[in-house]
A = this chain, B = another copy of it.
Amino acid sequence: MRCEVLAIGTELLLGQIVDTNSAWIGEQLALYGIDNFEHRALGDNQTRIVAAIRDMLTRTDSLIVCGGLGPTQDDLTRDAIAEVMNVDLVRDDALAESIAAMFKVRLRDMPQNNLRQADIPAGGAAIPNPIGTAPGLRCEVDGKVIYAVPGVPYEMQKMITEQVLPDLLARSGETSVITSRALKTWGTSESALAEMVAHRLDALEAVGNPTIAFLARGIEGLVVRVTAKGRDAADADAIVAAEESELRVILGDLVFGIDDQTMEYAVLDRLRTRGWTLGVAESLTGGLISSRIVNVPGASDVFRGSVVSYATDVKRDVLDVAAPSVVSEDAAREMAEGVRRLLQCDVAIAATGVAGPTEQDGVAVGTVCFAIALPGVAVETVTTRMPGDRDRIRQFATISVMNLLRLRLDGIAAQPWR
């Protein structure tokens, strides 16, 4: 089964928005084993849209058209598909009523234009959109299928996941079910990770199921994704679970979470279990550690706050740092102790270092010192060197200090990067 993607919208060509939809759809198609060889983006021009659909259909079995389903005269996807099918648009009265009802619920007047969204190419079918006014379309032409989905990302994603992919899979004659799991890791490089997993890749290559992929996600970590095909959901889940077990033995404590779990989630979860509160002392990260932590729902159970001691005076006066160099393990230790005292928390982490662009007091760019203060034990410190520019050094310092805390909470000695 082959499926291509066509994104519609002049704003994409003008660079006013970046097309993240096509990447997302491409990822889903790959996940479900559907071949996808081309993404295309065009402006709001019916002649060009019609020509592109016709051209793409000469090579593909199916096509997802994304965007151009809005209510205005610029929204031409419906008209273009009707032209490709050589049919008229027909108003679907039930659909028109449901669109009008949606406006009524929201206590808003419906512009008459919105009824255009109830127009369907004759012979095609509407795909319901429970969270927006623009229905999708499923239209067949010469034994091939065109899906039209809205350009609003969450409406598009819901429609693709719940309606388009199952339909595509059914058409492909594929009866198996696909499941995937992301093992999120931190603490080693992509090439080292690939080396560790190499013998699993070799072992799986012969079978072809499950498959393993590596994805570098920046501050979200390095992801090892396992994708399995099964007779049914339970079968696919079992295959993924078996491979996850194998990988967890190899990767050990490098794995900090699965799927949507972030490093800050992993840390807060472990602290919550122990009933411990957290405080942060930041310098080079300038508030980035704290701002990541508060993104976790329910962070307020655990997180008390932080002190961003950017100026040396603030480190000395507010956090009682006495170490001669403010980029040193001693300074990091005193920052952690100081913030724990000030914010009255059980656990404190601290990061001080040189984000660049130039060295500071003879300390090289990328040098970062961390401290982890836990109840009842001596504060642990570590020095590391981060790669990259100012922004990347900050991001890596942020995930690394949280990873250190995670490892310490699991009883493993601090070792920032192997």
Contacts and interface: CB of A to CB of B under 8 A. Distances in A.
Given A26-B14, A286-B290, A300 B308 contact: no
Interface string A1-20: 00000000000111111111
Contact of A23 (B19, B215, B293, B394): B19
Nearest to A52: B38
Kindly report how many copies of this chain are found in the complex they form together: 2
Contact of A304 (B16, B27, B313): B313
Interface of A: 12-20, 22-28, 30, 36-43, 45, 48, 52, 55, 215, 277, 280, 282, 285-291, 293-295, 297, 299-300, 303-311, 313-314, 317-318, 342-344, 357, 391, 394
Contacts of A48: 37-38
Given A13-B30, A287-B294, A305-B310, 17 more contacts: A12-B26, A12-B39, A13-B26, A18-B20, A19-B22, A19-B23, A19-B39, A38-B52, A55-B55, A286-B291, A287-B287, A295-B391, A303-B310, A304-B310, A311-B343, A313-B344, A317-B344
B300 A311 contact: yes
A209 to B, nearest CB: 18
Contact of A37 (B22, B43, B215, B294): B43
A17 B19 CA distance: 11
For the residues of A in contact with B, the DSSP-based class is mixed
Give the interface centre of A17, A307, A394 by most chain B CB atoms within 10 Å. A307
Contacts of A300: 310-311
Given A38-B48, A287-B294, A308 B310 contact: no
B303 A311 contact: yes
A25 B28 CA distance: 26
Contacts of A305: 307-311, 314, 318
